[in-house]
Amino acid sequence: MTDALDPSALDPADMREQYRTAEFLEADLAADPMEQFARWFKEAADSAAVVEPNAMIVSTATPGGRPSSRTVLLKHYDERGFVFFTNYGSRKGSELDSNPYVSLLFPWHPVARQVLVTGTATRVGRDETAAYFRTRPHGSQLGAWASEQSSVIASRAELLARYEELAARYPEGEQVPVPPHWGGFRVAPDTVEFWQGHENRLHDRLRYVRDGEAWRVERLAP
Ligand SMILES: Cc1cc2nc3c(=O)[nH]c(=O)nc-3n(C[C@H](O)[C@H](O)[C@H](O)COP(=O)(O)O)c2cc1C
């Protein structure tokens, strides 16, 4: 047994930040959410304070509605949506196969911003996956083969042994085939919310909502 927890040692109830930022108004918004995302993504990347601005939390759910979340890296975005790469047999991969509804969250806390996306995920084409796989370092390519992501394994040693086997089969400089169980998902958004923190909790929340081919914008109470 461990000692009883002492929550007074470091009490999260006493932790609060006052966000001192400029107002974020409807007039500041780009015509479409991906363009607005591009602006904020650049500002997050330009701020030395935001580490890994392309890290996002992806939440999926079983068909019965049990959610699960994890961090992944955004690897591409354009007018069609947000792309990340993963193992299709992983928990997220199999949840997305049976329930394509997904949410993404970019937690840019150091600049008092977050971007929240809801949408539908589909697998990207194999050509697009192969093109990205080829840009990955050799070790990461082997890693994609070595790990049956999300399955239970006996030990770390087992994982390393599998990696070493693959490294012997495909030495540095030799082409590693794209694993059939690995690839991209593209999340086509139906809502994208831009959240800017302010003093006294008077935050700005501007949400694009898909409306046929167009987008409408609504302001949400903070
Ligand atoms: C900063 C960061 C970036 C990550 N990027 C990815 C990624 O791009 N793709 C991926 O499959 N897992 C990534 N992971 C690992 C996932 O968080 C997760 O452990 C893994 O995908 C298995 O998730 P699942 O079992 O819920 O499917 C990343 C983790 C962190 C902390």
66 flagged as catalytic: no
Question: In a 10 Å sphere around its CB, with 0-12 CB exposed, 13-18 middle and 19+ buried, how is residue 80 labelled?
Answer: middle
Q: In this model, does residue 20 exceed pLDDT 80? A: no
Q: What is the pLDDT of residues 91-145, one digit of tens each?
A: 999 999 999 999 999 999 999 999 999 999 999 999 999 999 999 999 999 999 9
pLDDT > 70? residue 158? yes
pLDDT of residue 138: 96
With a cut of 90, say whether residue 167 has pLDDT above it. Answer: yes
pLDDT at 121: 98
- The answer to whether residue 19 scores a pLDDT higher than 90 is no
For residue 2, what pLDDT is reported? 57
Q: Beta-carbon neighbour count of residue 208 at 10 Å?
A: 25
Q: What is the pLDDT of residue 3?
A: 65
**Percent helix / strand / coil, the chain, rounded to 5:** 30, 30, 35
- CA separation for the pair 188, 191 (Å, rounded): 9
Residues with CB under 6 Å of ligand 1 are 52, 55, 68, 70-73, 84-87, 90-92, 149-150
pLDDT at 82 (0 to 100): 98
Distance of CA 76 from the midpoint of ligand 1 (Å): 16
pTM value is 0.94
Q: Give the model confidence (pLDDT) of 47-97 as tens digits.
A: 999 999 999 999 999 999 999 999 999 999 999 999 999 999 999 999 999
DSSP secondary structure letters along 38-81: HHHHHHHHHSTTSS-TTEEEEEEE-TT--EEEEEEE--EEETTE
Taking the C-alpha atoms of residue 20 and residue 113, their distance in angstroms, rounded to an integer, is 11
Distance 9 CA to ligand 1 centre (A): 31
Mean pLDDT to the nearest integer, 195-204: 93
